[in-house]
């Protein structure tokens, strides 16, 4: 959990480290967090949630994929991390384009 605390500190959002720890959020879980998830754990500031979601999307491939029985996508098909990153980026653009 210290890695998450360090990451939040680099974002200038270290005040949320305890909330992430209380909710057992590690980098594996972090990859799938949504705006609603962040709000649910107590990140009430919309600006802070957007900043976190943008940073999560930027992590992209820097966060190792979870190990397990997941199959590798076929050539040319995006993997789950890529899909999440694209969706997160698109969600962050919705207010900009007025949706």
User: What pLDDT, in 10s, does the model give residues 69-96?
Assistant: 444 545 555 577 777 777 777 677 666 5
Residues 6+ apart with CB under 8 A from 38: 48, 49, 52, 53
Q: What is the pLDDT of residue 14?
A: 95
Q: What is the largest CA-CA distance in the chain?
A: 41
More confident residue, 63 or 87: 87
- The band of 63, judged by pLDDT with boundaries at 50, 70 and 90, is very low
Give yes or no for a contact between 49 and 43, defined as CB atoms under 8 angstroms apart. yes
Residue 47: is its pLDDT beyond 90? yes
Interval 35-63 mean pLDDT: 89
Domains annotated for the chain, with CATH where assigned, are 2-66+73-93 (1.10.150.50)
Model pTM? 0.60
């Amino acid at each position: 959990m210290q890695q998450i605390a360090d990451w939040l500190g680099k974002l200038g959002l270290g005040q949320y480290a305890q909330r992430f720890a209380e909710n057992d959020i590690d980098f594996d879980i972090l990859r799938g967090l949504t705006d609603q998830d962040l709000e649910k754990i107590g990140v009430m500031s919309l600006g802070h949630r957007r900043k976190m979601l943008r940073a999560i999307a930027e992590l992209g491939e820097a966060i190792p994929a979870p190990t397990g029985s997941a199959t590798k996508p076929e050539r040319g098909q995006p993997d789950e991390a890529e899909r999440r990153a694209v969706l997160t980026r698109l969600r962050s653009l919705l207010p900009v384009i007025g949706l």
